[in-house]
Structure 1
């Protein structure tokens, strides 16, 4: 029997802020690169990440030598969005997000396989080959 992991209140708030960060970013994209929504999404995502894994772990994640390229792209994209270059900033940020978090995509995919309707959709042959290509590119820790 698997033991349940109890999350602290700060981690619950962090997960909520991260979710709202994704929501605001999505809404910013839907509303034709709205600078305000994109900036709020970025700020909420970073705050949520810091509360979820801790400020020290967040800094060490972004400052690892193998993550420099992704960190610079991601944080540079956030700065571009904050300074008003929303379209360019979101593409730079998306590249950095992909480089930084691509190692976590297979873990997220395993979780999403268990969601009733979404799991069936993700098990289609084309998507399985795409997900497996991410699994093959992971860098060993």
Structure 2
């Protein structure tokens, strides 16, 4: 069993609040204060969950510098009260940073057809969609 420390629990809560504020700021027509607060909470929560050293190592790997620059540049642009441009930069940076994770996530979701509710005959397209989206790229 995996043990979860108190700091990781706090980090999960802070990250959840960060995602909530980002979504709420987006719903309120890109409110720059809510988006900036959500960005800061998200990055703080991520640092609490995986640690400062691992967070720094994740963002500043050589092959992830482009995504990191767009993501953190978007955060800075949002903090400077240009929320629409900043969020577009953040979204591009987010997809660039986590592009190696998406095939794994879709592979996991492709196996979800074993769950009774999702394996009904009227929902048979869902596992096929996830299998198609998972692709063949590897994490290496």
What range is the shorter-chain TM-score in? 0.7 to 0.9
RMSD: 2.5
Q: Which has the larger radius of gyration?
A: 2
User: TM-score normalised to the size of structure 1?
Assistant: 0.82
Q: Which runs of 5+ in 2 are unaligned?
A: none
2:103–2:137 contact (8 Å) kept in structure 1: no
Give the structure 2 partner of residue 50 of structure 1: 47
Give the structure 1 partner of residue 5 of structure 2: 8
**In 2, distance between residues paired with 1:65 and 1:22?**
27
Q: Which runs of 5+ in 1 are unaligned?
A: none
**In 2, distance between residues paired with 1:111 and 1:125?**
10
Displacement, 1:123?
2.9
Q: How does 1:1-141 map to 2 (within 5 A)?
A: 4-109=1-106, 110=108, 113=112, 123-130=126-133, 132-133=134-135, 136-140=136-140
Count of residue pairs the alignment pairs up: 133
**In 2, distance between residues paired with 1:111 and 1:17?**
26
User: TM-score normalised to the size of structure 2?
Assistant: 0.82
